[in-house]
Amino acid sequence: MSFSRQHGTLTVEDCAVDDLAARFGTPLYVYSRAAIESAWRAYDAAFADRDHLICYAVKANGSLAILQLLARLGSGFDIVSGGELERVLQAGGDPGRVVFSGVGKTTAEIERALEVGILAFNVESESELERLSEVATRLGREAPVSLRVNPDVDARTHPYISTGLRDNKFGIDIHAAEAVYTRAAERPGLRVEGLDFHIGSQLTELEPLADALSRSLALVDRLAEQGLPLKHLDIGGGLGIRYENETPPSPAALAESLGALLKDRPQRVLMEPGRAIVGAAGLLVSRVEYLKPGHRDFAIVDAAMTDLLRPALYDAWQRIEAVNTTADETRLYDVVGPVCETADVLGRERALALSPGALVAIFDAGAYGFVMASQYNARPRPAEVLVDGAEAHLIRARERVDDLWRGEHLLEAP
Ligand code: LLP
């Protein structure tokens, strides 16, 4: 187990969290290398019996050292911007294992992706197809294309992170996709290779994914009949993790349930998990500044919605524990940050035994944590540490106050 308690103190692998906080300060993101690697390996092993590639969704956590760990395991990457592409390259990732998703790819981003030679563009609209064809032709390249279809299934997750319904901006309506494929095959500069879908995030049921896959396979069959055989199927990401009492399916259960549908299919299977690889592997550690008793008991900590946005944005629940077990009285605290917004809440009504100066750990913060951090209220973003056994590596320095105005200019004239 990567996270455990020893003599009442929370540890990550062989490092005590209170030592890490003393050494690196708070708020602090702490990740377990073993947890990340074992989650990736479990995913990979689940699909071992067929040709497959895991394209880790960089958006979940794009820190270079984490991308480097995954690249060394042989991972591919799912990116949604030119910035994410450069991160992957900077971390030593193989561009030949990169798929590029997203509804708004710019011309410059397309040029760069063609230049480095990515595995596939997950194309989300006919206008994007047109632009891709123009750019590739101008550069004398062939763009590998996968159409992201919108299978119109309800992923039964939070509406903000559901993407596979007809009402969402993502993908090409599956009913229109056949005609789009035909036109894509006729356009110069394109090589039609795959089909892709991603129906949402934090999925706790397999049925919507299986539905999306069967609808997609029916399309794949129609395309093959028309002489348009596809080389790969990208089933997206989305497997949930257990934040509270959800029971998300394991990668093995996913592989088993889709395996029946994919049996005897020659296509290589790509997938784009993010949260399931890094989510449970990270903590946000924060120090209590003040306790404010009253009508509600507030624990005001030094982390805020600027460091971990999920509770404020999605009303997401993440487990919070005191780092050290103490004899302090247990009360139901609203754990809040110092930002001047009522939404600046990390957890409501949590039974915690705290005193000022105590440390708290917010669990399952490895995905959509640091990446969604901001400097709102002029708060430097936190540091990140990767624990590997008894060693702790600072993988991102805490921002300094002068980072807050990097790139800004005072007016010169009086
Ligand atoms: N592929 C595509 C095309 C995506 O849009 C996403 C996530 C993924 C893969 C990875 O999904 P995952 O395996 O991590 O569920 N900020 C939200 C989650 C937004 C997810 C956006 N797309 C949150 O904190 O819950």
pTM: 0.97
Atom of ligand 1 nearest to the CA of 60: 14
Res. 169 pLDDT band, cuts 50 70 90: confident
Distance of CA 51 to the CA centre of its chain: 23
Q: Is the pLDDT of residue 166 over 80?
A: no
The phi, psi pair for 306, rounded to 5°, reads: -70, -25
Token pair 């763009």: residue: 143
Q: How far apart are CA 40 and CA 35, in angstroms?
A: 9
Is the domain spanning 102-271 CATH 3.20.20.10? The answer is yes
* 340 annotated active-site: yes
Domain boundaries defined on the chain = 3-31+279-405, 102-271
What per-residue confidence (pLDDT) applies to 110?
98
Q: Which of 260, 340, 390, 413 is flagged as catalytic? A: 340
Relative to beta strand 120-123, strand 98-100 is parallel
Establish whether 341 is an annotated binding residue: yes
Of 275, 308, 310, best ligand 1 pocket probe by most atoms within 8 Å of the beta carbon: 275
- Cβ distance 43 to 55 under 8 Å? no
Q: Is the pLDDT of residue 158 over 80?
A: no
What per-residue confidence (pLDDT) applies to 237?
97
Burial class of residue 413, CB neighbours in 10 A (0-12, 13-18, 19+) = exposed
Long-range CB contacts for residues 79-83, cutoff 8 Å, separation at least 24: 81/109, 82/106, 82/108, 82/109, 82/112, 82/113
What per-residue confidence (pLDDT) applies to 413?
87
Instruction: Give which of 220, 216, 215 is closest to 231, Cα–Cα.
Output: 220
Which residues sit with their C-beta closer than 6 Å to ligand 1?
Answer: 57, 59-60, 78, 101, 161, 198, 201-202, 236-238, 272-276, 310, 314, 367-368
What per-residue confidence (pLDDT) applies to 161?
66
Establish whether 240 is an annotated binding residue: no
CA nearest ligand 1 atom 7, residue? 201
Res. 167 pLDDT band, cuts 50 70 90: confident
CA nearest ligand 1 atom 24, residue? 368
* pLDDT tens column, 263-304: 999 999 999 999 999 999 999 999 999 999 999 999 999 999
Q: How far apart are CA 271 and CA 341, in angstroms?
A: 38
Q: How far apart are CA 280 and CA 276, in angstroms?
A: 7
Of 54, 55, 59, best ligand 1 pocket probe by most atoms within 8 Å of the beta carbon: 59
Q: Is the pLDDT of residue 159 over 90?
A: no
Which range (36-45, 166-175, 370-379) has the least confidence? 166-175
CA of 368 to the centre of ligand 1 (A): 8
Q: Is the pLDDT of residue 232 over 80?
A: yes
Establish whether 314 is an annotated binding residue: yes
What per-residue confidence (pLDDT) applies to 215?
96
CA of 165 to the centre of ligand 1 (A): 15
What per-residue confidence (pLDDT) applies to 163?
72
CA nearest ligand 1 atom 8, residue? 237
Average pLDDT over residues 28-51: 98
Establish whether 273 is an annotated binding residue: yes
The per-residue DSSP string of 168-189 comes to SSSSEEHHHHHHHHHHHHHSTT
Q: Is the pLDDT of residue 165 over 90?
A: no
**Mean of per-residue pLDDT scores for the chain:** 96
Q: How far apart are CA 77 and CA 86, in angstroms?
A: 12
Res. 160 pLDDT band, cuts 50 70 90: low
CA of 211 to the centre of ligand 1 (A): 19
CA distances from 46 to 8, 58, 250, 257, 271 (A): 36, 21, 9, 11, 12
Q: Is the pLDDT of residue 330 over 70?
A: yes
**ipTM confidence score:** 0.99
Average pLDDT over residues 153-181: 82
Establish whether 275 is an annotated binding residue: yes
Q: Would you state the CATH architecture of domain 3-31+279-405? A: Beta Barrel (2.40)
Atom of ligand 1 nearest to the CA of 237: 13
Could you tell me the two tokens for 121?
A: 């563009």
CA of 163 to the centre of ligand 1 (A): 9
As a whole-number percent, the residues of the chain with pLDDT over 90 amount to 94
* pLDDT tens column, 91-140: 999 999 999 999 999 999 999 999 999 999 999 999 999 999 999 999 99
Atom of ligand 1 nearest to the CA of 240: 15
Q: 3-class DSSP state for residue 304?
A: coil
What per-residue confidence (pLDDT) applies to 157?
74
Token pair 């230049």: residue: 115
Instruction: Give which of 126, 81, 111 is closest to 99, Cα–Cα.
Output: 81
| Cα torsion 287, 293, 294, 297: sign | positive
